[in-house]
Each structure stands twice: as structure tokens, then as C-alpha cells.
Structure 1
Amino acid sequence: MNETNAGGVRRRSVEIVVPVYNEAHVLAGSIGRLHAYLEDSFPFPFRITIADNASTDATWTVATGLTLRLPHVHARRLEEKGRGRALKHVWSRSTADVVAYMDVDLSTGLDGFLPLVAPLLSGHSDLAIGSRLHRQSAVIRGPKREFVSRSYNLLLKAGLGARFSDAQCGFKAVRTEVFHALAPHIEDTAWFFDTELLVLAQRNGLRVHEVPVDWVDDPDSRVDIVRTAVDDLKGMARMLRATVTGRTRVPAVPRRTTVPQNVTALPTGAATAVEPMEYAS
């Protein structure tokens, strides 16, 4: 996946993980659409990895079939459930410069993907999140989920001093070497994984970039809102204790430095106008 151009310059790469659990009925259509979009418009080497969270339907069969038909699609099978577990498993083993994930329903508009990862590839930021609560976002969803989402993010601001606006949007990316440093300190294996990653990043002075997104609620969502809310509150309490005791400080987090001459620059207009940077390992 780490390719070079005609002049022998290495091109930065991205691995996109799509965690799934019993999604055989939509998997082929969603991955096919994502693959076609990236092949047509994404200017960097990429890999799509389907992370099967111990599905009990035909999801794994569909996933392995897609790896035979589509050249940039790979699949991993986990025998235990948990979105956070799946992301941690794949991201920790990735050789790409940037790792990302999105939900299989593709609720978030794909036109937001290059703006999501470009600041990480250019060296401007360390993590990037899609935000449904940004004033420029276009969101269609029911009042119940809107209320739960806004309430949760207000709690994060009040309880943990969060400076990011939307912890739960299934559209995120992180520099791989940064994730490798943070991963051993992330305990959650389910839905609170995202929040824990962001809080750790903030506590360690990393830069989080937010992208307004177009987002349409999936009526077939498998998320148990009540159970997830309870687990999130428990996770917040744990993170608060960790902050008080200093356990959120991570040693040797990679920092930004000057970009090397052997890495290609971003296409014009792909990111904000900042001086290119690279990262020390």
C-alpha cells in the first residue's frame, strides 16, 4: 500500500476500517460504493479493511468474496464483539500513514473523507473527526437521537472539559504512529472507544481537526441507545478518575516536525494552507 510515484517519491497512504456485525444484507453494496468512490476521486494509496466483529450471519462470507473482487479490499475476522476492539486490532497492525474508520451504512457523506484525512497527511493535525454538531453540517435524524447526542457531548464538555464537539460520529481518522502511542492506554472495546481516544489526545496536547459533515440517520441502526448511554457514563467516570490521578498522560507521543523531501505533497486545495510537516517516530 505504501507506493512511490514515477520519481521514486513515497506517497502517503490511508487505511479505512469498516467495522461490521451481522451486516451481510448491506455489506456488498456499501463496500462497493466506497471502493468505487475512492478509486475515482481519492488521490492517495488506500486500503479498505472490513473488520468482522464475530458476526453470526453471512457477513464473513460476503466480506471474503469482496476481497476477491475488489483489489483494495481486505478483511479481518474477530471472534469477539466490540467496535473499539475491531478498530484497535486493525489500526495497531496497519502500515499506512493514517488510519480511519466509517460506519458500514455510510451515513456520513463521502465527500467529507478527503477533508477529514488531508490535515493528517499534510502534518497539520494529529486526529480528525467528522462533526454533526458543526454549524455548517447538514444532518437529517430523529429528535430522540439528536437530543441524546447533544446531551452526551454537553456532558463531556462539563465533566471532562472536552474541546471537541462530536465524540460519537462514526467518521474519524488518526495518524497511525500517534494511535500506536495511545492504544495501550485505551481500555474500552465498544462504543466509548472513540471518546477515550479523543480525551487522551486532548490530555496530551494533540491537535484534533473537525470537519462538518453531511449525515443522514440510518433507520436500521443496531445501536442500543440506553445501554450505550449507560456505558458511556461509566466510561466518563473512569476517565475523570484517570485524569485526576494523572493516568491520562502518555509518554513519548510523536510530535510534528518538518516534512521530508521524499514524501509527496497534498494536491492543491486538499487541505488548509499550512506548511507541510512530517512526524518523528
Structure 2
Amino acid sequence: MISIIFPAHNEAEKIEEAVLRTAEEAKKLGLDFEIIIAEDGSTDGTDKIASKLAETYDFVKHLHSDERLGRGEALRRALKESRGEVIIYMDADLSTDISHLKDLIDNIRDYDIVIGSRLLKESDAKRPLSREIPSRVYNFLVRLLLKSSIRDHQCGFKALRREVAEDLFFKVKDNHWFFDTELLILAQRKGYRIKEIPVKWRHEENSKVKLLKDSFYMLKNIIRLMG
């Protein structure tokens, strides 16, 4: 079985479409799958939509939290409730084209972790320069300061073997946006086999990332992992 997790905070406008499009793609691929909405302290009605989806479709599970726990804790809770041998998590805005689900599945047979990458030359990623330049600088600093061989640490489209997810999710200390980077740094230090795949990706105009504030936060965490 494949477990697909959507960490979701205030995604009322997107979560239903994300779930239904993902389910359609999974069925097309003939997968035995479940979709877990790890709904994290939403205040915009995401919880109600997620609950209705879980009532309507037997492949959907809704995990609700009254308080915002953060991306990391939402993923840990979902992992505990999941049944899949492969754990996939992705952003509810589906910025990464869902057709790449097949690429995750095909490659996870030979690797421990498979991740979408916007920064491979084969990728088709479109976003404004105000986002593109900071992203490239950030990933350069992670490679330089943390000795990473990965091009794109933050693309929200990842698959892990279950035993690898169980090992890494609970070792990551960060609970928010740095979760993905820290996960991949720990994975490399532990010698896990990681595959980056090119993806079609489109910038989400209503991104929750706050550039200046989050840049300082990410830099602080890079320094933490250097110690």
C-alpha cells in the first residue's frame, strides 16, 4: 500500500481538488493507496471539508488538530496512522504536477528516498525571480555549508520507504519549513540512497512562505546543523 499525506493548514480552497486529482492519478496507476489529510489547526473550514471527504471516500483519512502543530508534527502524526510501505507527502496546492506520482513510485523501488527537484536542468519550473533567486541561493548555501549533494531540498513532493520515514521523521528537530531540508541532510549523513527527479512545477501565488522572515529562520537552522 501507498500512503499519500497532505499536511494542510488553511487549505480550504485547494484540499478537495488536491485529494480528488491525486486519487484519480493513483487509480490510473493501479495503486493500492490511502490519502491522509493531516489537517493542522486550520481556521478557514479546511477541517470541515476534510471531514466530509473522509466520510465520502473510504480511501481518505482526516487527522484534525485544534492547535497548529507545524509541518513536522503533522507529518509524524500521519505517519503513525498510516498503513503504507511507501510514504509520500506533497503540498496541497499541487504545485508539482501530479503526473509525477508515477515517477516517485517507479524510482522508490531502487532508492530509499525519491524527491521532486525544480533545479535539475530537465525540470520545467516557473516562478518569479523574486522567488527563484532566493531559492537558488538557499540551496547553494545548504550544499556548501552542510555538504549536501542535493540540488533542491524544499520541493514539497517526496517519497520514502516506510522504515526510512520512521527512522528520520522522529529525528528531525525542526517542526516547520526547515523540516524537509533537515530530513534530507540527516538522510545523507545516514547513507540513505536518494534520487532527485525532474518535475513540472508552477509557483503558487498565495504561498505561505514569508521571504525575509523565513530566510533568517532557514539560515539559523543551517547554522544549527553545522554544529
TM-score range, shorter chain: over 0.9
Task: Give TM-score, length-normalised by structure 1.
Answer: 0.77
CA distance in 1 between counterparts of 2:155 and 2:204 reads 13
**In the alignment, what sits opposite 1:36?**
24
Can you give the 5+ residue segments of structure 2 that lack an aligned partner in the other structure?
A: none
Question: How much has 1:92 moved relative to structure 2?
Answer: 3.7
Provide the alpha-carbon RMSD of the alignment.
Answer: 1.3
SS of 1:99 mapped into structure 2: strand
Tell me the residue number matched to 1:96: 84
**Following the alignment from structure 2 to structure 1, what is the Cα–Cα distance between the partners of residues 46 and 13?**
8
What secondary structure, in the 3-state scheme, does the structure 2 residue paired with 1:133 have?
A: coil
Q: Secondary structure at the match of 1:104?
A: coil
1:155 is the counterpart of 2:161: no
1:197 offset after TM fit, Å? 0.6
Q: Secondary structure at the match of 1:154?
A: helix
Q: 1:55 aligns with which of 14, 32, 42?
A: 42
Whether the 8 Å contact between 1:94 and 1:176 is mirrored in structure 2 is no
Match of 1:136 in 2: 122
Deviation for aligned residue 1:115: 0.9
Cα distance between partner residues in 2 of 1:117 and 1:239: 30
Contact 1:132 / 1:212 at 8 angstroms: preserved in 2? yes
Match of 1:77 among 64, 69, 75: 64
SS in 2 for 1:84: helix
Cα deviation, 1:106-155, whole Å, max 9, x if unaligned, reads: 111111111113222x2x11111100001100011110110011001000
Q: What secondary structure is seen at the aligned counterpart in 2 of 1:71? A: coil
Q: Structure 1: how far apart are the matches of 2:154 and 2:170?
A: 21
Task: Give the CA deviation at 1:193.
Answer: 0.5
Identity between Structure 1 and Structure 2 (%): 37
Moved more, 201-210 or 228-237: 228-237
Establish whether residue 193 from structure 1 lines up as the match of residue 179 from structure 2. Answer: yes
* Contact persistence 2:71–2:177 (CA under 8 A): yes
Q: Does 1:182 align with 2:182?
A: no
Instruction: Determine the C-alpha separation between the residues in 2 that align with 1:222 and 1:103.
Output: 11
**2:157 counterpart residue number:** 171
Q: Secondary structure at the match of 2:49?
A: helix
Give 3-state SS (helix, strand or coil) of 1:25's partner: coil
Deviation at residue 215 of structure 1 after TM alignment: 0.4
- 1:263 corresponds to which residue? none
Partner secondary structure for residue 134 of structure 1:
coil
Q: Distance in 2 between matches of 1:119 and 1:92?
A: 24
Aligned amino acid, residue 52 of structure 1: E
- Post-superposition shift, 1:162? 0.6
TM-score by length of 2: 0.95
Partner AA of 2:85 in structure 1: D
Mapped to 2, the partners of 1:184 and 1:31 lie a distance apart of 26
Shift of 1:184: 3.0
* Cα distance in 2 between the residues matched to 1:105 and 1:182: 25
Corresponding position of 2:2:
14
Q: Cα distance, 1:51 vs. partner? A: 0.9
Q: Tell me which amino acid in the other structure corresponds to 1:186.
A: V
Q: Which amino acid in 2 is paired with 1:206?
A: Y
Q: Distance in 1 between matches of 2:124 and 2:182?
A: 26
Once the 2 structures are TM-superposed, how far is the Cα of residue 29 of structure 1 from its aligned partner? 2.1
